[in-house]
Amino acid sequence: MSNILTIRDLRVAAPNGAILVDGIDLDLAPGEILGLIGESGAGKSTIGLAAMGYGRGGCRIVGGTITLGDTSLMDGSRATREKMRGARIAYVAQSAAAAFNPAIRIGEQIVEGALYHAKMTRPEAEAWKLELLKTLQLPNPETFGDRYPHQVSGGQLQRAMVAMAMSCRPDVLVLDEPTTALDVTTQIEVLALLRSLIQRYKTSALYITHDLAVVAQIANRIMVLRHGKLVEEGTAEQVLEAPREDYTRMLVAERQGNLSNAV
């Protein structure tokens, strides 16, 4: 089956010209969850944002191609990129609080993507919002959306943010450490919900994390990154159970160290 997202030889430069991402190839199949792992500063977020044609803080995509379905994100105008972003690819960041407007009710912010990007009618958008809130197991889904962002817990707001990202029915979700701010129990719940949501709606996802325990739970395939370059990639099982590269072995050993310390 053809890819939903194809990246070839991606290069991203910092404002001073330093190369932050160097020659990354990435393939994402429909329905697949691809984990991007590596230490802080490896370039994970930079790649996730570049997948939407976006450079953060003055970073620029200076080489390569990004194709979403059969549409290139590189040739189009800024307007085309803006349209694709939010319509076919959506981003879920670590801090849900920063993604919501504090003065607008949560439900209204979720409905927006459905109305403006997915072009649903108001009743369709409301029905889709309710379905998402139910799927994400938010309390009292009929009235949950009436609350303001500060009126719900961190874990609930994180799930609401996933609903907001899904509201436009994107083909691809970029999940950038979406559970890092949550306690471990909530993290496990949100992960399980994310996985079932992605399967149910046949969405594909890039799942960015430095946490191997998290990626083991959710990803089908894993890419290991370091200093903006690919270290190795394979199925989640291959990479975590039988890593080929020393760097990956070190990450895996660190995790095992953490686990045994925790016991």
Ligand X SMILES: Nc1ncnc2c1ncn2[C@@H]1O[C@H](COP(=O)(O)OP(=O)(O)OP(=O)(O)O)[C@@H](O)[C@H]1O
- Among positions 5, 10, 37, 42, the unique one binding ligand X when judged by CB under 6 A: 42
Is the CB of 20 or the CB of 191 nearer to ligand X? 20
Rounded CA separation 80/66 (Å) = 13
Greatest extent of the chain over all pairs of C-alpha atoms, in Å: 54
CB atoms within 10 A of CB 56: 11
Least CB distance to ligand X at residue 223 (A):
12
46 binds, among ligand X, Mg ion, none (CB under 5 to 8 A by kind): ligand X
- Residue 79 makes CB contacts below 8 A (sequence gap 6+) with none
Is the CB of 45 or the CB of 135 nearer to ligand X? 45
17 binds, among ligand X, Mg ion, none (CB under 5 to 8 A by kind): none
45: contact with Mg ion by CB under 5 A: yes
- Among positions 1, 17, 58, 246, the unique one binding ligand X when judged by CB under 6 A: 58
- What angle separates helix 154-166 from helix 184-200, to the nearest 10 degrees? 20
Using the contact rule CB under 5 A, the part of the chain among 45-53, 79-87, 151-159, 178-186 near Mg ion is 45-53
Helix (H) or strand (E) holding 158: helix 154-166
58 binds, among ligand X, Mg ion, none (CB under 5 to 8 A by kind): ligand X
Least CB distance to Mg ion at residue 206 (A):
12
* Cβ contact 120:114 at 8 Å: yes
234: contact with ligand X by CB under 6 A: no
Phi, psi of 64 (to 5 degrees): 100, 180
* Cβ contact 49:55 at 8 Å: yes
* Cβ contact 132:167 at 8 Å: yes
Is the CB of 57 or the CB of 123 nearer to Mg ion? 57
210 binds, among ligand X, Mg ion, none (CB under 5 to 8 A by kind): ligand X
Window 12-41: contact mask with ligand X (x via CB under 6 A): --xx----x-----------------x-xx
What the block records as the tokens of 217 is 């739970």
Rounded CA separation 73/68 (Å) = 7
46: contact with Mg ion by CB under 5 A: no
CB atoms within 10 A of CB 42: 22
Site residues, ligand X (CB under 6 A): 14-15, 20, 38, 40-46, 56-59, 210
Contact residues for Mg ion (CB under 5 A)? Answer: 45
